[in-house]
Structure 1
């Protein structure tokens, strides 16, 4: 059983990069600059920003099922120069393999069926095992320490 990693869509963020800092603040977003290597994972390109890269920090609802008690939103980073990632089935972006992760399995009704904390190097095995269970529809991947949403995985 294999999986496909789904990044957030670039189109949702492009207009934000044209806004003034005051307009971004009114939306609860901020412009920022990456300071250190591997500190700012872009949710669109699925690549870590390099020091000096410009980013947006914005709040995104990543689980928007109205009937689910697990509806969730939180902060995400997007590089100003982001290009939409399109991973192939079974491909894990390097960004995911270098972090401690929180993984959350959901069924078709957006009810959580399993969750764990895994090292990024073990993510592929976790995803394969998760999708081997018929009830798993999607797996959300978050940073374990700060809890920020990184990407979703679906059955491929």
Structure 2
């Protein structure tokens, strides 16, 4: 069993109160979805055309390890609740080519693979079959952007 989690919306609400100049000073920007391709990292859904989002740098792997990493993410203003999908793949992930990275408890990379989103559940199970794997990160394979963290479900594996 596994849990795919979006990011905590409380970490991003302040960005929506900032002016465009204040966002720019933080290396972020306000955007409006004009079509597909704006995946929200809180709700794990694609933004609808016209949705307001903030594009910002996020430290998705904030660990004391050489594998510490950050990158660009989108967050929708309307994303009030963190996604938490138990043993289910959010539709946003099911249609993309994904990079799945498995880390140990120290934040070091154990293994990685690229899979179509339709095969993500099987890849998660295979990676969690390895006892050293503590958690997974899912990224969009082509642009490389972080999408979500996957944890073992309590009591599973």
TM-score range, shorter chain: over 0.9
Aligned to 1:4: 3
> Hey, what does 1:61 align to over in structure 2?
59
The question of whether the paired residues in 1 share the 8 Å contact of 2:42 and 2:75 is answered with: yes
Q: Which residue of 1 aligns with 2:73?
A: 76
Alignment-derived partner of residue 40 in structure 1 = 38
Q: Distance in 1 between matches of 2:5 and 2:85?
A: 10
For residue 88 of structure 1, report the CA deviation from its aligned partner.
Answer: 3.8
CA deviations 1:6-59 (Å, max 9, x no partner) are 11110010011000000000000000011113x110000111001111100010
Q: Work out the CA distance in 1 between the residues paired with 2:84 and 2:91.
A: 11
Give the match for residue 27 of structure 1: 26
| Structure 2 counterpart of 1:131 | 128
Taking only aligned residues, the RMSD between alpha carbons, in angstroms, comes to 0.9
Q: What is the number of equivalent residue pairs in this alignment?
A: 153
Q: 1:92: Cα distance to partner?
A: 1.4
Structure 1 segments unaligned to the other structure (5+ residues): none
How far, CA to CA, are the matches of 1:33 and 1:86 in structure 2?
21
TM-score under structure 1 normalisation?
0.95
Task: Confirm whether residue 102 of structure 1 aligns to residue 99 of structure 2.
Answer: yes
Answer yes or no: is 1:87 the counterpart of 2:60: no
User: Scaled by the length of structure 2, what TM-score is found?
Assistant: 0.95
Partner of 2:47: 49
Matched, 1:14 2:13: yes
| Inter-partner Cα distance in structure 1 for 2:83 and 2:115 | 23
Three-state SS of the structure 2 residue aligned to 1:65 is: coil
Unpaired segments ≥5 residues, structure 2: none
Asked if structure 2 preserves the Cα contact closer than 8 Å seen for 1:106 and 1:139, the reply is yes
Report if aligned partners of 1:87, 1:93 keep a CA contact under 8 Å in 2: no
